[in-house]
Structure 1
Amino acid sequence: MTLLLTLDDGSIQRKLAEAVDLARAAVLEDAGAEQVGAHVGVDSEDAVSASHLFEATVTGYRGWRWSVTVALAGEDEPITVSEVVLIPGPDARVAPAWVPWERRVQAGDLGVGDIFPVEKDDPRLVPAYLESDDPAVEAVAKETGLGRVHVLSRHGRLDAAARWHSGEFGPRSDMARSAPDVCGSCGFFVSLAGSLSAAFGACTNDISPADGHVVDVEYGCGAHSEIEVEVTSSVPVAELVYDDSLMDFEPAPETPVEAPEPEPAEATVVDESEAPVAEAPETAEVQPEVEPEAVTAETAETADEAQVEAESASEH
């Protein structure tokens, strides 16, 4: 028999690609004409086989295709049909990838009466004796039934810490970002024991939304124990306040009644022709001019008095 894998020059693939009618006849015999659509392509499987694809018009299988695989055993052999199957196309609706049930269970799925066994090699748990400083103590505790078989491993503690830190009661929540202070300084905060004590604790404030929950030390709410609010009156009050019960009242003095102004008297008209005429004073005698050198203190004083008398007489 000739080795087609090494001697093929492309003629075999051409023969396989041209066998569209043979492939359609095979799928019509298997499914029926009402469930087979147009030919949409051909895929090469290997050197001696190829698959022809037809649209599937099957109810409930939108986007699926009929795949008819044909093969050629030799250059002088006829093309034969290997299989006819229904496969999903690129736009087909298919079921999601299979996930084991123990991996599909999420937080909150466990109900009353449900049982969820832990995997044998769960990385979150380790034997209890690995967490003790004294193996003899663990052996005695286990024999008497007082010790636990498993405790949290380092991986389990870190996993829980990351989940709590980024959860509802962590520092990134809306409540924590609007709180005036953090839980680490609150009197209602009770720290956890062990290695988680530095980062987590329980809230014991019944007013807080985190009451009874594990909270991060950086979480906070408006019910912090050290919050002090200044209580003031809702009614605005002035800085200066008068106490009416302690004030002394004095009556204001009565305003005196003003007397009416007297009416102005009528002006008396005087006839200037009948009025007595004052006599003009005699004109003072003119003193002879005196040389400046001959004026003494006595003559200066006498001249001043004469001048005053002359001015007085002129006024009358």
Structure 2
Amino acid sequence: MSRTRVRTPAADQACAAAVDLARSAAEGIARPGEVGEHLGFDAEGDRVVTHYFACLDRAYEGWRWAITVARASRAKAVTVSETVLLPGKGALLAPTWVPWSRRLRPGDLGPGDLLPAEADDDRLAPGFTAEAEADDETDHQMLFEYGLGRARVLSAIGRDLAVNRWHSGESGPDSPLATAAPAQCSTCGFYWPLAGALRLGFGVCANEFAPDDGKVVAADHGCGAHSEAAPAPSAAGEAPQPILDDLGYDPMPEG
């Protein structure tokens, strides 16, 4: 099996010796006193060499000035081709940029904020509109979520993500509130089941005094505001009736 060998260009002597020219170019783009010692050079190609100088700017620790010089074929003069400040080993770098849409967290949106869903959002699937064709994919979505009049409806992926999120959160069966509850939400009169495929597993709490009022809760969630919750009996029994003494009297101090 033959292997292709990559030729490493030899450093051009004239370009490699142009340290002073490269330093002058670095000082031309840097502030006074920010160009440090010469750190070496790399041969980029035929008659092309990049010189590196330490950056003394405290805001760019670990960075280095990279000055590329070149020489034309059969020419003796070396000229500056490119000047740039590049990060070196251990350089302080900014965090990887993340699009704003991926930096959002639940609760970040306020009044007037808009968050349009992307066209290829895998949490959504085509709905059933007047213009939609009755194909297999639309029929499959109609089995668990009617999308009449809507361009897109919740997909199977989006549904599963919601189920996992709701069931494992504070409105699920393992939260401290649920484990101390007298009964599950599914047996509560204030529990309003969702429609569609999620009807058996989730609903909305309609008890204004419950901590999850107006929120989606799992059917096996629970809280102390259950409609059938009964007050715990007193360990000491009922308090005795007060005894009123209507025969005696207590002297009052003179005012």
TM-score range, shorter chain: 0.5 to 0.7
One-letter amino acid matched to 2:185: C
SS in 2 for 1:37: strand
Tell me, yes or no, if structure 1 residue 200 matches structure 2 residue 202. Answer: yes
| Distance (Å, rounded) in 1 between the aligned partners of 2:209 and 2:104 | 33
One-letter amino acid matched to 2:107: G
One-letter amino acid matched to 1:28: E
- Length-normalised TM-score, structure 1: 0.57
Tell me, yes or no, if structure 1 residue 223 matches structure 2 residue 225. Answer: yes
| 1:15/1:220 CA distance change after superposition, 3 Å | farther
Alignment map for 1:161-240 (pairs within 5 Å) = 161-234=163-236
Alignment map for 1:1-316 (pairs within 5 Å) = 10=10, 12=11, 19-31=18-30, 33-46=32-45, 48-58=47-57, 60-73=59-72, 77=76, 79-123=78-122, 124-129=124-129, 130=138, 131-132=141-142, 147-234=149-236
Structure 1 residue 116 displacement after superposition: 2.7
| 1:205/1:91 CA distance change after superposition, 3 Å | same
- 2:250: which partner in 1? none
Equivalences, count: 221
Per-residue deviation, residues 171-227 of structure 1 (Å, max 9, x unmatched) = 333322343443233333221111001211111233321121100122222333444
**RMSD between superposed Cα atoms in Å:** 3.6
- Length-normalised TM-score, structure 2: 0.68
Structure 1 residue 108 displacement after superposition: 2.1
Q: Which runs of 5+ in 2 are unaligned?
A: 1-5, 130-137, 240-255
Structure 1 residue 67 displacement after superposition: 0.9
Identical residues among aligned pairs (%): 44
| Distance (Å, rounded) in 2 between the aligned partners of 1:214 and 1:159 | 14
SS in 2 for 1:86: strand
SS in 2 for 1:170: coil
Per-residue deviation, residues 119-170 of structure 1 (Å, max 9, x unmatched) = 233331422253447xxx99xx7xxxxx334322222222222221222212
One-letter amino acid matched to 1:45: E
| Distance (Å, rounded) in 1 between the aligned partners of 2:186 and 2:13 | 77
The structure carrying a bigger helix percent of its residues is: 1
| Distance (Å, rounded) in 2 between the aligned partners of 1:215 and 1:7 | 65
| Distance (Å, rounded) in 1 between the aligned partners of 2:183 and 2:15 | 77
| Distance (Å, rounded) in 1 between the aligned partners of 2:177 and 2:127 | 38
| Distance (Å, rounded) in 2 between the aligned partners of 1:161 and 1:47 | 61
| Distance (Å, rounded) in 1 between the aligned partners of 2:8 and 2:222 | 78
| Distance (Å, rounded) in 2 between the aligned partners of 1:154 and 1:177 | 30
SS in 1 for 2:208: coil
| 1:44/1:223 CA distance change after superposition, 3 Å | farther
One-letter amino acid matched to 1:127: G
Structure 1 residue 14 displacement after superposition: 6.9
Relative contact order (alpha carbons < 8 A, sep ≥ 6): 1 or 2 greater?
2
| Distance (Å, rounded) in 2 between the aligned partners of 1:232 and 1:167 | 34
SS in 2 for 1:128: coil
Per-residue deviation, residues 268-309 of structure 1 (Å, max 9, x unmatched) = xxxxxxxxxxxxxxxxxxxxxxxxxxxxxxxxxxxxxxxxxx
Per-residue deviation, residues 63-122 of structure 1 (Å, max 9, x unmatched) = 432111233556984544321112233444444334444333332222222233232333
Over alpha carbons, which structure has the higher Rg? 1
- 2:132: which partner in 1? none
- 2:245: which partner in 1? none
